Amino acid sequence: MAQYFPGRVHEQNAKWTAVDNYAQSHLHPSSRPYHAPLENVLKNSLASGLPDISSYPVLAKFFALQCTALGVKHALEIGTLGGYTAIWLAKLNPGLKVTTIDVDPKHVAVARENARNAGIEEGRIEFLQGPALDVLPGVREEIAQGKREKFGFVWIDADKVNNWKYFDLIVSGGLALPRTVIYVDNIARRGNLPKRPEELKLGVDEDNEEDLEDNREGLRGAREVVENVGKDDRVEGVVLQTVGEKSYDGFLFAVVKG
Ligand code: DHB
Ligand code: MG
């Protein structure tokens, strides 16, 4: 698996990778019918020139199983990329419809192709292209008019600066059912969450100004959503740090009060 994440990583450790590889070889073996189609999604996304910043197998399967356990019928994803997570959700949950938003038409085209190749029936994944802050109000309107169902699962994994705006729009716009789980990715990367920007040791490419700026923005977006969720009586949240074959990072997990 690790070969699909050769690019930007945020701390790796041979033990973390070994544990993932061992557990994956037993729990996600090639004998499972969905194994090869999902591998192909990652391969084709990389071959199509998409950045290797997708969810990794353990995380995507965890979300798919969350949807199974919670009996989710409608899932919302912000940040489609190559559709890897959306395809996992759809593959493991035949009764689930996924709505996924991405600003980049190329991502949407590759994700559509990946979903088709993975054998996902037309319509099970709804691809919406555009900036999520422009697309979500239309989704809200359709829900208000009874033309679409509210979501029971939300995965936010797009541009990090808008984390809170997406989160707030979903909760205040009535897009989520009571007890909906909302995940926000890339919250704990390199353990920098509690540090001030001037203390940052960004690690991967500190000389690259673009990389530095990108990470500063990401950090700002991570803090804003964590701090605001902590002040928000509509939700209850926790940050879970993760290690694995891809990197050290973590996500915010929040539940809409019912
Ligand atoms: C990176 C990882 C992500 O999960 C993401 O959503 C964006 C960027 C990264 O590794 O740079
Ligand atoms: Mg991410």
Contacts of residue 91, Cβ cutoff 8 Å, sequence gap at least 6: 34, 37, 38, 64, 118, 120
- Nearest protein Cα to ligand 1, atom 8: 53
Q: What is the mean pLDDT of residues 85-102?
A: 98
Ion ligand 2 neighbours, Cβ < 5 Å: 157, 185-186
Which of 10, 52, 53 is the pocket-test mutation for ligand 1 (most atoms within 8 Å of CB)?
53
Residue 44 and residue 85: Cα distance in Å, rounded? 14
Is the per-residue pLDDT at 225 higher than 80? yes
Contacts of residue 229, Cβ cutoff 8 Å, sequence gap at least 6: 167, 235, 237, 252, 254
Distance 160 CA to ligand 2 centre (A): 9
Kind of pairing between the strands at 74-78 and 97-102: parallel
53 Cβ closer than 6 Å to some ligand 1 atom:
yes
DSSP assignment of 210-225 equals HHHHHHHHHHHHHHHH
Distance 141 CA to ligand 2 centre (A): 27
Contacts of residue 16, Cβ cutoff 8 Å, sequence gap at least 6: 243, 244, 245, 248
Q: How far is CA 67 from the centre of its chain?
A: 14
Q: How far is CA 89 from the centre of its chain?
A: 11
Is the per-residue pLDDT at 127 higher than 80? yes
Which of 186, 192, 204, 215 is the pocket-test mutation for ligand 1 (most atoms within 8 Å of CB)?
186
Distance 67 CA to ligand 1 centre (A): 23
Express each pLDDT in 10-22 by its tens digit.
678 899 999 999 9
Q: What is the mean pLDDT of the chain?
A: 91
Express each pLDDT in 140-188 by its tens digit.
999 999 999 999 999 999 999 999 999 999 999 999 999 999 999 999 9
pTM of the model: 0.94
Q: Tabulate helix, strand, coil % of the chain (nearest 5).
A: 45, 20, 35
